[in-house]
Chain A
Amino acid sequence: MGMAQRLGSIGKLLVGMWLAGVTIATFVVIPPYQGLGDAGRIVIVHVPTAWVAVIAFTVSAVYSALYLRRRRPDDDAKATAAAEGGLIFTLLATLTGMVFSQIAWGVFWNWDPRQVTILILLLIYAALFALRSAIDEPERRRRLAAVYSLFAFVTMPFLMFVAPRMAESTLHPNCAFIKGSDCDGITLKIGHVGQLGDQKVQLLGLERQGDIVVAQVKVSTPGLASEAILQPGYDLATRSYTDRPTFPGQRFTLALESVDLERGEARINMEAPGSGLLANQRTLWVFLASNIGFTMLFVWMFLVRSQVLSLEAQIAQRKVALA
């Protein structure tokens, strides 16, 4: 066995052991998440699969560009292997997200902006393989697939990062990972009115009970069809919220993020279940380890698959030469 092969075997073993550790940690080390309980553990698998899909599609685009420049069949094999990995990981991100959605929101699929954009991305990359299978002539197939792959890649950042955050109302907990404009909440003075997502909110008052401040917030659904008064709490000593009431008929919660009693104002925010999941240090470390593990796993898949495609191309070329 050559040195490269031996190193490869050791690398595979390490990836397996690393991911075995992550799997154990997912169920044993990290605590249940408040509001989601044990269902929050799915995030440790769900987010890395989506993350690896982004890496895979980027690798595919890079090799597609290299193919167009150098015209080496090996570059095409690598671009295809990476796109295939990306498609698998996108599918897994969608499926794990659907399970999370069922537990957190009560439905597998509710046409949330995030769900819609990932479905479109799946369809775009599935079309790449349909295109490849439809062209018999190898050189033409490689060239067209490389061009299509580059076009597909242009849509990826928009569909994965931009479009879901442009939506005014999404159940997807973006705030768990990136502080976006839709996740920053609003600061209201007593009596003032504002908007969180599609909900009208009005701060009616702030009442101090020892270290705890309780706010009275009137929330109204779109069209003012229904109104309710919620009372989120805030602990001045620990500077964190104490109670996050749920919006009527929904799984969103209303959180009090900061309070200034002298000025009579409070910062309130609307959170979807899952927001703030990574605030726990143990969860954060396992999450990072999972991301690293899945990335290494993708590299493994990519190397094996690109070798297969490369060998298949060589054999096909040889058969043509013999014929």
Chain B
Amino acid sequence: MSESTSAIYVSMATVLLVWVTIAIYLARVSARLRSLQRDVRSDPPGSAQRPEETAPQPAVAPDPPSVTADQWTWMAWYAALTYGCVEAPGMLKWLQPHPKAAGQLAG
């Protein structure tokens, strides 16, 4: 592997490190937020103080999971990173000016 090729892979790995770190943080924090919001909804303030006043609630099925904006965002990042990692070296090579062949110069 040439020094240039090695440098671009190191750059890509560094960018990936940043995204993965932030992705893990955001995924964990978002999951915690959803969990807390569920807890708060299922246990409104003061409910435990007046159990006798609380009528039994019919069982409600939880909301079905759907593709959220967060998930679309992760997919977009994933697509961008895949595209960047797989295609960038080829694109860079393609963007470089190609020297004309000796025959073309002479002709």
Residues of B within 8 A of A304 (CB): 26, 29-30, 33
Q: Which A residues lie within 8 Å of B79 (CB)?
A: 20
- Encoded as 1 (CB less than 8 Å from any A CB) or 0, chain B from 51 to 84 comes to 0000000000000000011101110110111011
Q: Is the CB of B69 within 8 A of A308?
A: no
Q: How far is the CB of A48 from chain B (nearest CB, A)?
A: 9
In contact, A301 and B77 (Cβ under 8 angstroms): no
Contact with B along A142-162 (1 / 0, CB 8 A): 000000000000000000000
* Contact residues in A for B104 (Cβ distance below 8 Å): none
Contact of B69 among A10, A91, A315, A322 (CB under 8 A): A10
Note all chain A residues with C-beta closer than 8 A to B70.
Answer: 12
A102 nearest CB neighbor, chain B only: B10
Q: How far is the CA of A42 from the CA of B17 in the complex (A)?
A: 11
Contacts of A269 in B (CB 8 A): none
> A236 in the interface, Cβ–Cβ < 8 Å?
no
Interface contact B4-A311, CB-CB below 8 Å: no
Q: Are B7 and A28 in contact (CB under 8 A)?
A: no
Given A23-B84, A322-B48: A37 in contact with B76 (beta carbons within 8 A): no
Q: Nearest CB to that of A85 among chain B residues?
A: B25
Chain B residues lying within 8 Å of A27, measured Cβ to Cβ, are: 8, 11-12, 84-85, 88, 91-92
Q: Quick check: is A138 within 8 A (CB to CB) of the other chain?
A: no
A interface bracket (residues with beta carbon within 8 Å of B): 35 or more
Are B25 and A315 neighbours in the complex by a CB distance under 8 Å?
A: no
Tell me whether A24 and B21 are in contact (CB under 8 A): no
Contacting B at CB under 8 A, from A1-42, are: 8-10, 12-13, 15-17, 19-21, 23-24, 26-28, 32, 36-39, 41-42
Query: A95 in the interface, Cβ–Cβ < 8 Å?
Result: yes
Cβ B40 vs Cβ A45 within 8 A: no
User: Which residues on A sit within 8 Å (CB–CB) of B83?
Assistant: 24
Q: Give chain B interface residues in 1-37, CB to chain A under 8 Å.
A: 3-4, 7-8, 10-12, 14-15, 17-19, 21-22, 25-26, 29-30, 32-33, 36-37
A-B contact pairs, 22 of them (CB 8 A): A16-B77, A23-B19, A23-B77, A24-B84, A27-B12, A27-B84, A27-B88, A27-B92, A28-B84, A38-B4, A39-B7, A41-B11, A88-B22, A92-B21, A96-B18, A100-B14, A301-B22, A304-B26, A304-B29, A308-B36, A312-B36, A315-B39
